A and B are shown apart, each in its own frame.
Chain A
């Protein structure tokens, strides 16, 4: 197994260690709690890009008894040279004590003494106080490469104060908010990791390149999810037979509801796919539901027994007539030059054309074999087509920008589509509109791929 860069994220309880691990490893399964002390065991989480692990972060419990640990260490080290072995001795002594007094310290120091770099997390919204010094001293005793991360959980009021205190104990100090960190911030933290320990530099620089590539890939695949599902919604049709004209209004209402439900289902499938792609499977979202109350929703046509449409019936009866004509042609040894087939087809086709002109009058022994058919969809209304696309892009944009440490319910903000359109050139705007206009008839592969590119441009991520 490759020796990956690894870091233990440590600190006082409830300073956002788990959120940082979650954001930097893109794992939304890391337990994040606002309650202090919920993490009880060190656990490794890796950032994997397309199945390939890049680095490992250890989510650790917070320091519970740092002054007692430091006192113990000081009693077991006569000089600075013995400090590392004192920490090891501490682990040897207390590791066999499950649930013991120093359980949390053992848990957090073990990965460090196994070679992990240190990321010490503090809260930048609360003032620095000397009681943190015991923790920082212990970390110093381990002699592992270490950096400090100021997490501005509730603001940045004391960031400068913290920075000057931390810089006395740590090689690198960075401000990082796991709730809002965009790609650039995350990259800057990774660059800091690379600076921390020379042997990991190459791996981490490779990770930075891979991460950029991976983000591009996710953007492209996310846009494809949007386009695929939008097209499904655009071309979706619901049909309902109207057996009697008095039931038509009620059936129209029923069909409208069914159609709306189908569009909502397509939209929720798209959201689920996007969440899954961006590894936000547990994300709670709040978005107004789709209203498909569009004008000219219904189209009327006719239904026939056996589920065939009029065109099919005429085509089939033409073929049957032609086949009968062929029999005559064979009987004449081909001398008729297929005239029988031609005549049979024409006569039979014309007869079925005439017979299906008024479907409601087609009855067998008084039982209707044809009638009116109500069809809802596909989406021919251009404005509604843009509404569907806009909603999909809004959601995609929100999920793509969401960090994994942020567990609040996300409210999808709607951006005016014309604002988004500004990101395309005039000619592209026209081409996009033309593509949207014809989408209800289905799109060819090239149109789909082009639309994917446009969706990526229309997004702000």
Chain B
């Protein structure tokens, strides 16, 4: 069974990367809103499916991927920032031990806190309007998205996802920088504290921090904690064990990276779901199809000419020979009724000498009969034999609004046949 146009559209847009899918969809909505049509689509042929029309639209659109490019640029910027931040922390004091709280705070605890806040905010505050998104929108508008005004709900979700992904890129590149620097430099992490002075005391703190990964990797032992006390540096004791880097790395991964990854996935899922829902609920696909299905009538006559009022004509036997057109029930003294019975009878009368009259001929027709080619033929035949032939329409009842339209039909006919028309009184 064929997919519905909405499903076809969903498959079409979702076959692109998420940012591209979103901006293609928004571009498409703008295209439909402007009532533009595709070139080269001939609606006289087989009606087009949503999929084929969308593919043609894609080929003809000048989609510039600005949205996808701007998000990629932002992610690269964040990745660069992450790398520099980690490099800064690790090399701030060349060849000197590094206070362990700095990397833990900057790359584990602070990101964890921010992740929690972001999660709470995104759960509590639904992206209903742009209110509160002013700065983000200003950035978005800078890259030319102002034209998508009215689609803020989707854009806000997209920006939340881009932002979360940027922070993920920040942490990933920070970890990469960590390994890069650690490869060529012996990084010593030490701890110091005003309140916790002993290794046993700090061991408890480290154990609590290491809880998320303690099921597969141990927290630093008391001896390792003791060896990494900043006091060792002051007493110039050589540090025999340098295992604190694994602790820092684990903290960055478990507090910084993984929660952020979950949040990124969550944001991605929500954006994708909302985009899918927007595509499915929207009427744009149907409007787009309808727009390309419309066919104008070919060579239809346009009778938009304004006719003036019809001239009243007195029907007098004394001055005219009266011929009836389909007037089977008439009080007028008609010399012949045409348009009823066989055509051959009419034809033989029209071509006979009987049709040649001494007086001007007046063809009478009921206003509600329809002017046709046969009437035109009869008038033409009569005109061949008589100098004056006129057409007069008669009404049995008073004229109403619909009669006006019918009179216009007669006027249109008379003009086409170049014959004088009157309204019988």
Binding site for B on A (CB under 8 A): 1, 12-14, 18, 27-31, 33-41, 43, 45-46, 48, 50-53, 59, 62-68, 70-71, 101, 104, 126, 129-131, 154, 217-218, 220-222, 224-225, 232, 235, 269, 272-273, 276-277, 279, 281, 309, 312, 333-335, 441-445, 449, 452
**A residues less than 8 Å from B131 (CB atoms):** 442
Is B370 touching A43 in the complex (CB atoms < 8 A)?
no
Closest to B292 in A: A51
Is B299 touching A41 in the complex (CB atoms < 8 A)?
yes
Is B328 touching A129 in the complex (CB atoms < 8 A)?
yes
Q: What 1/0 mask marks residues of chain B from 261 to 277 whose CB sits below 8 Å from any chain A CB?
A: 00000000000001001
Query: Chain B interface residue count: which class?
Result: 35 or more
Is A36 touching B283 in the complex (CB atoms < 8 A)?
no
Closest to A105 in B: B373
Bound-state CA distance A29–B295 (Å) is: 6
Is B283 touching A445 in the complex (CB atoms < 8 A)?
no
Is B150 touching A232 in the complex (CB atoms < 8 A)?
yes
* A46 in contact with B370 given A29-B297, A33-B303, A449-B281 (CB within 8 Å): no
Chain B 31-50 interface residues, beta-carbon cutoff 8 Å to A: 33, 35, 46-50
**B residues less than 8 Å from A224 (CB atoms):** 281-283
Bound-state CA distance A71–B371 (Å) is: 20
Segment among B241-249, B384-392, B406-414 that sits at the interface with chain A: B406-414
Is B286 touching A129 in the complex (CB atoms < 8 A)?
no
**B residues less than 8 Å from A277 (CB atoms):** 283, 286-287, 290
Partner of A53, one of B47, B295, B344: B47
Is A64 touching B373 in the complex (CB atoms < 8 A)?
yes
Is B297 touching A39 in the complex (CB atoms < 8 A)?
yes
Bound-state CA distance A335–B2 (Å) is: 69
29 cross-chain CB contacts under 8 A: A13-B371, A13-B372, A27-B293, A31-B296, A31-B297, A33-B300, A33-B303, A36-B371, A37-B409, A38-B301, A39-B297, A41-B298, A41-B299, A50-B289, A51-B48, A63-B372, A65-B372, A129-B328, A131-B326, A217-B4, A221-B281, A222-B283, A269-B33, A276-B291, A279-B294, A334-B101, A445-B274, A445-B277, A452-B281
The smallest beta-carbon distance between A17 and chain B, in angstroms, is 12
B80 within 8 A of A: no
**B residues less than 8 Å from A104 (CB atoms):** 373
Closest to B300 in A: A31
Is B286 touching A217 in the complex (CB atoms < 8 A)?
yes
**B residues less than 8 Å from A269 (CB atoms):** 33
The smallest beta-carbon distance between B55 and chain A, in angstroms, is 13
Is A36 touching B370 in the complex (CB atoms < 8 A)?
yes
Is B374 touching A68 in the complex (CB atoms < 8 A)?
yes
B194 within 8 A of A: yes
8 residue pairs, one from A and one from B, having the closest CB atoms: A442-B128, A64-B373, A31-B297, A221-B283, A31-B300, A67-B343, A35-B303, A442-B129
The smallest beta-carbon distance between B51 and chain A, in angstroms, is 9
Closest to A277 in B: B283
Bound-state CA distance A43–B405 (Å) is: 25
Binding site for A on B (CB under 8 A): 2, 4-5, 33, 35, 46-50, 53, 99, 101-102, 126, 128-129, 131, 134-135, 150, 153, 194, 274, 277, 281-283, 286-287, 289-291, 293-303, 326, 328, 339-340, 342-344, 346, 368, 370-374, 376-377, 402, 405, 408-409, 412-413
Bound-state CA distance A224–B281 (Å) is: 7
Is A37 touching B413 in the complex (CB atoms < 8 A)?
yes
Bound-state CA distance A224–B294 (Å) is: 23
**B residues less than 8 Å from A312 (CB atoms):** 134-135
The smallest beta-carbon distance between B247 and chain A, in angstroms, is 18
Bound-state CA distance A312–B133 (Å) is: 11
* A154 in contact with B283 given A27-B295, A71-B343, A130-B340 (CB within 8 Å): no
* A59 in contact with B370 given A131-B326, A232-B150, A333-B99 (CB within 8 Å): no
Is A221 touching B128 in the complex (CB atoms < 8 A)?
no
The smallest beta-carbon distance between A128 and chain B, in angstroms, is 12
Bound-state CA distance A225–B296 (Å) is: 27
Is A27 touching B294 in the complex (CB atoms < 8 A)?
yes
**A residues less than 8 Å from B293 (CB atoms):** 27, 48, 51, 279
Bound-state CA distance A70–B345 (Å) is: 13
Bound-state CA distance A221–B150 (Å) is: 18
**A residues less than 8 Å from B297 (CB atoms):** 18, 29-31, 39, 43, 59
* A131 in contact with B53 given A13-B370, A444-B128 (CB within 8 Å): no
Bound-state CA distance A154–B370 (Å) is: 15
Bound-state CA distance A333–B194 (Å) is: 12
**B residues less than 8 Å from A101 (CB atoms):** 373, 377
Is B298 touching A43 in the complex (CB atoms < 8 A)?
yes
**A residues less than 8 Å from B374 (CB atoms):** 64-68
Is B281 touching A50 in the complex (CB atoms < 8 A)?
no
**A residues less than 8 Å from B274 (CB atoms):** 445
**B residues less than 8 Å from A53 (CB atoms):** 46-47
- Which of A27, A37, A104: most chain B CB closer than 10 A? A37
Bound-state CA distance A18–B300 (Å) is: 11
The smallest beta-carbon distance between B57 and chain A, in angstroms, is 13
**B residues less than 8 Å from A50 (CB atoms):** 4-5, 50, 286, 289
The smallest beta-carbon distance between B188 and chain A, in angstroms, is 15
Is B409 touching A14 in the complex (CB atoms < 8 A)?
yes
Q: A1-B46, A35-B301, A51-B289 are in contact. List 16 more A-B contacts (CB 8 A).
A: A12-B370, A13-B372, A27-B293, A31-B297, A35-B408, A37-B412, A38-B300, A38-B301, A50-B4, A50-B50, A51-B49, A67-B343, A101-B373, A224-B281, A277-B290, A312-B134
* A441 in contact with B129 given A224-B283, A335-B194 (CB within 8 Å): yes
Is A126 touching B5 in the complex (CB atoms < 8 A)?
no
Bound-state CA distance A19–B140 (Å) is: 50
The smallest beta-carbon distance between A61 and chain B, in angstroms, is 10
**A residues less than 8 Å from B50 (CB atoms):** 50-51
Partner of A51, one of B47, B281, B342, B343: B47
Closest to B289 in A: A51
* A71 in contact with B342 given A39-B297, A51-B47, A62-B370 (CB within 8 Å): yes
**A residues less than 8 Å from B372 (CB atoms):** 12-13, 37, 62-65
Bound-state CA distance A66–B377 (Å) is: 12
The smallest beta-carbon distance between B200 and chain A, in angstroms, is 22
Is B128 touching A441 in the complex (CB atoms < 8 A)?
yes
**B residues less than 8 Å from A37 (CB atoms):** 301, 371-372, 409, 412-413
The smallest beta-carbon distance between B35 and chain A, in angstroms, is 7
The smallest beta-carbon distance between B153 and chain A, in angstroms, is 8
**B residues less than 8 Å from A222 (CB atoms):** 283
* A52 in contact with B126 given A33-B303, A276-B291, A312-B135 (CB within 8 Å): no
* A126 in contact with B368 given A53-B47, A273-B287, A443-B128 (CB within 8 Å): yes
**B residues less than 8 Å from A131 (CB atoms):** 326, 339-340
Is B283 touching A225 in the complex (CB atoms < 8 A)?
yes
The smallest beta-carbon distance between A106 and chain B, in angstroms, is 12
Bound-state CA distance A48–B50 (Å) is: 12
**A residues less than 8 Å from B340 (CB atoms):** 130-131
The smallest beta-carbon distance between A6 and chain B, in angstroms, is 14
- Which of A39, A48, A59, A444: most chain B CB closer than 10 A? A48
Bound-state CA distance A441–B53 (Å) is: 37
**B residues less than 8 Å from A225 (CB atoms):** 283
**A residues less than 8 Å from B102 (CB atoms):** 334
Bound-state CA distance A281–B297 (Å) is: 15
**B residues less than 8 Å from A279 (CB atoms):** 290, 293-294
Is B301 touching A65 in the complex (CB atoms < 8 A)?
no
The smallest beta-carbon distance between B250 and chain A, in angstroms, is 21
Partner of A70, one of B2, B35, B135, B343: B343
